[in-house]
Copies of this chain bind each other. A is one copy, B any other.
Amino acid sequence: MGLTKTEIFTQEQNRIADLAKAFAHPARVAILQLLISRKACVCGDLVDELELAQATVSQHLKELKRIGIIQGEINPPRVCYCINPPVWEEAQRAFGALFDTFVPVTCC
């Protein structure tokens, strides 16, 4: 099918899954890392850094914007992207909390 049954999961589970998607492709990891390392918001030189077509980079940026973890400021003819702190911190908290719920136990 390829169609996730979101209705049978909690809102939290669906949100975590969505936030994880921001990191679930190496190109998006690379984009996020670039946006962080160049403290100033990088624009389309992402295309130069990544060996991907401009349309492909734009598509990944769109997905990151949909999730909310980055924001873009139009500054014609350029667009300036950067991490969106509230959502970044939301992800940090959500994953941090999830990771912390596991306490190693002898098992199986």
Instruction: Give residues in A with beta carbon < 8 Å to B.
Output: 4-6, 8-10, 13-14, 16-17, 19-30, 32-33, 36-37, 39-41, 50-52, 71-73, 75, 80, 82-83, 85, 88, 91-92, 95-96, 98-99, 101-105, 107-108
Identical chains bound together, number = 2
| A-B contact list, 16 entries, CB within 8 Å | A5-B27, A8-B50, A8-B51, A9-B29, A13-B26, A13-B33, A17-B24, A17-B25, A20-B29, A23-B98, A33-B98, A33-B101, A36-B102, A41-B107, A82-B105, A82-B107
- Residues A108 and B82 in contact, CB atoms below 8 Å apart: yes
- Residues B108 and A99 in contact, CB atoms below 8 Å apart: no
